[in-house]
């Protein structure tokens, strides 16, 4: 037993740290994770673009400039232009009340604000059919006054409002709670009015969080399918949004055109992810 090697019970390679996995095992885990992500996320994303360009750029462009596609784009933009600002104003008001003041029933209020996230989009659409449809609560009144809500633009906007309701508020509430009330109180003590305090103190502090919420809200507003599908009536050129137009084209076995229009939404998604990543960096840097 004179050899030194005999006294080495078990010997490990230097490169594997004591609290890390061995290099081969690490590589295996990375490979499995990336394969999973490829099968479920990346391939579907790539397939949208490949499917859209299968018959060339000409066909792609034709599908995008089809009058029905253009009117779907228009309606989608209108729905987003209404629902995003309205929910933004609501989000700011709700966050102001919840984060800056103490009152009874606050946690119930927060739960209620999050409620639309746990309602199936199909049910969200159904709600407005029940209220404004021909057999709905206000059905007779609306029919008498010749106002159309369901199977028309107003219901699409309402359904979009419902499904995007919590986005801005749930970003702002924790952010404003964390920031507390000291800065605003200082401004008030220095003689600023309520609006001045909000514009010059609160808004600059929450701008990245607000932007983050607006980005997410907009993505959902433009991409919502289930809720809008129930209330729209699928009237071509009138009550179709981009996602509904994609569905119609796909069900008509016009897959290339469906994917062509879907690329618009895929670009929206990629733009959303990029913007979200950038804004998140600012949000983290801000603290």
Residues 162-191 that bind another protein (CB under 8 A): 162, 165, 181, 184-185, 188-189
Residue 196 found at the interface with another protein (CB under 8 A): no
Q: Nearest to residue 71, comparing CAs of 236, 224, 243?
A: 236
Residue from the set 65, 101, 108, 146 that interacts with another protein by CB under 8 A:
101
Which position has the token pair 């779907």? 72
Q: Nearest to residue 187, comparing CAs of 202, 209, 207?
A: 202
Residue 194 found at the interface with another protein (CB under 8 A): yes
Q: Which stretch binds another protein (CB under 8 A): 56-64, 66-74, 141-149, 215-223?
A: 215-223
Q: How far is the CB of 40 from another protein (least distance, A)?
A: 5
Binding residues for another protein restricted to 52-71, rule: CB under 8 A: none
The encoded tokens of residue 10 equal 């078990």
Binding residues for another protein restricted to 75-94, rule: CB under 8 A: 90, 93-94
Q: What is the largest CA-CA distance in the chain?
A: 106
Q: How far is the CB of 102 from another protein (least distance, A)?
A: 4
Q: Nearest to residue 167, comparing CAs of 123, 109, 220?
A: 220
Residue from the set 8, 58, 67, 144 that interacts with another protein by CB under 8 A:
8
Residue 43 found at the interface with another protein (CB under 8 A): yes
The encoded tokens of residue 225 equal 């399918």
Binding residues for another protein restricted to 118-157, rule: CB under 8 A: 118-123, 126-131, 133, 135-137
Residue 238 found at the interface with another protein (CB under 8 A): no
Q: How many CB atoms lie within 10 A of CB 104?
A: 7
Q: Nearest to residue 256, comparing CAs of 82, 91, 64?
A: 64
C-alpha to C-alpha distances, 147 to 74, 159, 229, nearest whole angstrom: 22, 17, 20
Report residue 232: phi and psi, to 5°.
-80, -35
Q: How far is the CB of 78 from another protein (least distance, A)?
A: 17
Dist. CA 232–CA 118, nearest whole Å = 22
Residue 103 found at the interface with another protein (CB under 8 A): yes
Residue 222 found at the interface with another protein (CB under 8 A): yes
Residue from the set 84, 211, 230, 283 that interacts with another protein by CB under 8 A:
230
């Amino acid at each position: 037993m004179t050899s030194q090697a005999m006294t080495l019970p078990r010997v490990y390679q230097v490169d594997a740290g004591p609290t890390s996995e061995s290099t081969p095992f690490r590589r295996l885990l990375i490979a499995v994770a990336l394969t999973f992500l490829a099968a479920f996320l990346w391939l579907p994303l790539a397939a949208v673009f490949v499917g859209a360009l299968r018959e060339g750029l000409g066909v792609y462009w034709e599908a995008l400039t089809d009058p029905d596609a253009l009117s779907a784009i228009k309606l989608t933009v209108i729905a987003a232009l209404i629902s995003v600002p309205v929910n933004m104003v609501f989000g700011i008001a709700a966050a102001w009340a919840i984060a800056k003041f103490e009152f009874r029933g606050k946690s119930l209020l927060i739960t209620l604000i999050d409620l639309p996230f746990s309602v199936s989009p199909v049910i969200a659409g159904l709600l407005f059919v029940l209220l404004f449809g021909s057999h709905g609560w206000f059905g007779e009144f609306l029919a008498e006054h010749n106002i159309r809500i369901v199977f028309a633009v107003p219901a699409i906007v309402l359904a979009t409002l419902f499904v995007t309701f919590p986005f801005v508020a749930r970003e702002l509430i924790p952010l404003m709670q964390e920031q507390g009330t000291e800065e605003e109180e200082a401004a008030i003590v220095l003689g600023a009015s309520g609006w001045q305090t909000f514009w010059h103190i609160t808004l600059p502090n929450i701008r990245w969080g607000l932007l983050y919420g607006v980005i997410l809200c907009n993505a959902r507003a433009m991409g919502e399918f289930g809720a809008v599908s129930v209330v729209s009536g699928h009237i071509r050129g009138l009550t179709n949004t981009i996602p509904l137009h994609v569905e119609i084209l796909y069900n008509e076995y016009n897959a290339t055109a469906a994917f062509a229009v879907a690329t618009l939404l895929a670009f929206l998604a990629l733009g959303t992810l990029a913007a979200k990543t950038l804004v998140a960096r600012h949000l983290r840097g801000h603290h």
